[in-house]
Amino acid sequence: MAIADKEFQKIKSTIKDFIKEEMVSEEKFDIQHTFKEHLPYLEEKRDKVRSLGLFTPQIPKEYGGLGLSLYQLGQIYEILGHSFYGLYVFNCQAPDAGNMEILMDHGSDYQKETFLKPLLNGDARSCFSMTEPEFAGSNPTMMGTIAKKDGKNYVINGHKWFTSSADGASFAIAMVVTDPDNPNPYLRASQIIVPTDTEGFKFIRNIPVMGDEGDGWNAHAEIRYENCTVPEENLLGKAGEGFKIAQDRLGPGRIHHCMRWVGECERMFDMMCNRALTRELAPNKPLATKQTIQNWIAESRAEINASRLMVLDTAKKIDEHGADSAKVEISTIKFYVANVLQNVLDRVLQVHGALGMTDDTPIALLYRHERAARIYDGADEVHKVRVAREILKSYSK
């Protein structure tokens, strides 16, 4: 899917102006407030986005979206990344955006009407429930949550954590083992939709991350499934397709993440330069006169530019040839851009000094939220191994 460049440039300009005028410069936004405290204000912003016809920009036109290519959408995610709540206001935040894609591609008519439609309209939120504390590591086939068939139902028992956005979500898409004896470990799991008001769906807590408990869209919850019974019509796709469905969402999802990080880097870069020019070491001696600071600025500019070009090049390859053609590129951008984000965040914090440690600026908020970028959706080390192995294959031939 794609739209003409002239139309896209107009959309891009409108979104850029909206984020700058309505989100980044908005005095009502307080990073010390919770998601729930911000919600009435955020809903007002969502209504403005709806009135502009820009809600759910990542969705195909037949489902009410803008019909952008992945290359075009990546540029939009960079703009939205300038604001902590930019993606939420445009209804393209994770994990909802990924769950929308799953439901569009694999959902039945019943599932689309019951679960997808409220997500597209912004009337509901969802969560994704896969990670388990008892099986820490990067092997996704190691999982202990079991869903046993009982007549026309599935009965789920297990323990999950980092179930993203479970606080206030209407339903979870849960990765569960339905065929534990299958000799192919990648065919053992399925994805099942679990309404959060189902008996046996136990919300335990929001997990404090870097001292920040979070709530609503920002939270990562611990969940227990205790004889949680859902009808078989809630099974996504076919039994055993859980990993296939998960892989379908990961390629485009990493484009979204990486371009959002580029947007965050750009905002932090602006803050670093402005602070370097206004923080004085002595009268008329701003921090920016120091060679170390100038090196940080130059290095950050180069790394951000390189990140953007790498990610958009990968997006274009996926658009033209599919995600399977870009496996190396997808893993490369994941670990590279996550590290650039850490570099830029660390530099801007250092330039701000003690101020950067406080919540008087967005720096500390992003620092504690985005250290996880090097872990979620595959740890750096896993992606590096994958890239190296694929490269070495071509040499071994």
Over residues 134-160, the pLDDT tens digits come to: 997 778 889 999 999 999 999 999 999
Distance CA 301, CA 391 (A): 28
Distance CA 308, CA 258 (A): 8
One DSSP character per residue, 71-117 reads HHHHHHHHHHTTSTTHHHHTT--TTHHHHHHHHHHH--HHHIIIIIH
CATH of the domain at 139: 2.40.110.10
Residue 15's pLDDT band (cuts 50, 70, 90): very high
Over residues 170-220, the pLDDT tens digits come to: 999 999 999 999 999 999 999 999 999 999 999 999 999 888 878 888 899
Residue pair 145/188 in contact by the 8 Å Cβ criterion = no
Same domain, 191 and 249: no
Same domain, 273 and 220: no
Same domain, 230 and 331: no
pTM of the model: 0.94
CATH of the domain at 91: 1.10.540.10
Same domain, 228 and 248: no
Q: Which of 217, 236, 255 marks a domain boundary? A: 236
Same domain, 185 and 317: no
Same domain, 50 and 117: yes
**Angle formed by the axes of helices 70-80 and 5-18, to 10°?**
10
Same domain, 141 and 115: no
Computed over every residue of the chain, the mean pLDDT equals 94
Distance CA 52, CA 72 (A): 18
Per-residue pLDDT, 32: 65
Residue 252's pLDDT band (cuts 50, 70, 90): confident
Q: Which of 220, 236, 252 marks a domain boundary? A: 236
Same domain, 258 and 309: yes
At position 297, the amino acid (one-letter code) is I
β pairing state of 171-177 and 126-129: parallel
The domain tally of the chain equals 3
Same domain, 279 and 381: yes
Same domain, 249 and 346: yes
Same domain, 359 and 248: yes
Is 351's pLDDT higher than 60? yes
Per-residue pLDDT, 27: 56
Per-residue pLDDT, 211: 84
Six-digit token string for 259? 């371009």
Q: Which of 209, 236, 263 marks a domain boundary? A: 236
Q: Which of 133-147, 220-234, 382-396 has the lowest mean pLDDT?
A: 133-147
- The arithmetic mean of pLDDT across residues 310-336, rounded, is 95
Residue 28's pLDDT band (cuts 50, 70, 90): low
**Residue 214: domain span:** 126-236
Residue for token pair 């330069």: 273
CATH of the domain at 254: 1.20.140.10
Is 44's pLDDT higher than 70? yes
- The arithmetic mean of pLDDT across residues 43-47, rounded, is 96
Per-residue pLDDT, 38: 84
Same domain, 22 and 92: yes
